[in-house]
Chains A and B, each alone.
Chain A
Amino acid sequence: MRTLLEKSVPLLAWAGFTVLAGALAAILGYIVMRSWAVLHLSLLFGDVAPIDAIFLRHPVFDGLFPAVAGTFLLVLIAVLLAVPVGMAAGIYLAEYAGYRMKSCLSLLFDILAGLPSVVVGLAGFSLTILLHKVFPGKIGPCLLLSALALCFLILPYLIRTTQTALESVPLSLRQTAPALGATKLQNICKVLLPSKLTDILGGIILAVGRAAEDTAVIMLTGVVASAGIPRSLFEQFEALPFYIYYISSQYTNAEELQTGFGAAMLLLVLCGILFLLAFFTQQTLSRHFRR
Chain B
Amino acid sequence: MAECCGGGNRLVYACSGGADVGEIADRVARKLVKTGFARPSCLAGVGGHVPGFVASATGDVVNIVIDGCSVACALKTLEQVGADMTHFVLTDMGLKKGRTPVEDAVIDRIAETIRIKSSGRVEESPASTHDGCACGGC
Tell me if chain B binds chain A: no
Chain B interfacial positions (CB closer than 8 Å to A): none
